[in-house]
Structure 1
């Protein structure tokens, strides 16, 4: 009887090991990181060149971001849109279009 119980115990352990994964993995968990950031447009962005936007989005890409969330696209006095609403200050070049193009070239999403 003792041998039979030992064999059954070994079989039970083998079944448990084969069909049930361990509760805690021995591999280290990945280091948490940011996936995105907010971009709060300001009047000085109206003067940014393509090179300025490229440097910013290159740095976003370098640190592993995949999404940029534009905080706002217009204020009561300034529009950062390509087609500003009637009465809003015109932007040249259109900031939103410019940053979306540069983001797309780097595989970054813009919301």
Structure 2
């Protein structure tokens, strides 16, 4: 079965008084999710706005990704595919048997 969809994520940044805030908005045509992140410039550091943008945006996208994983967990649990306990980690475990 072939399935194709387009999900769009917009990242919106604002900066005020040394604090950069980001919103990552996912719109898939059916629902919308919003991840949030912020970054603050240390008063002793040189102010480089691009770094604050990167930090705030990455934190907003990480928040959004976590929300998506929790939504997937709820949907899987609803059809009996996973235990009801929420997972705390995703992907391969650190000791997946990979050669070091």
TM-score (norm 1): 0.25
Q: Which has the higher strand share?
A: 2
Q: Which has the higher helix share?
A: 1
Higher relative contact order (CA 8 A, sep 6+): 1
Computing the radius of gyration from Cα coordinates, the structure with the larger value is: 1
TM-score (norm 2): 0.26
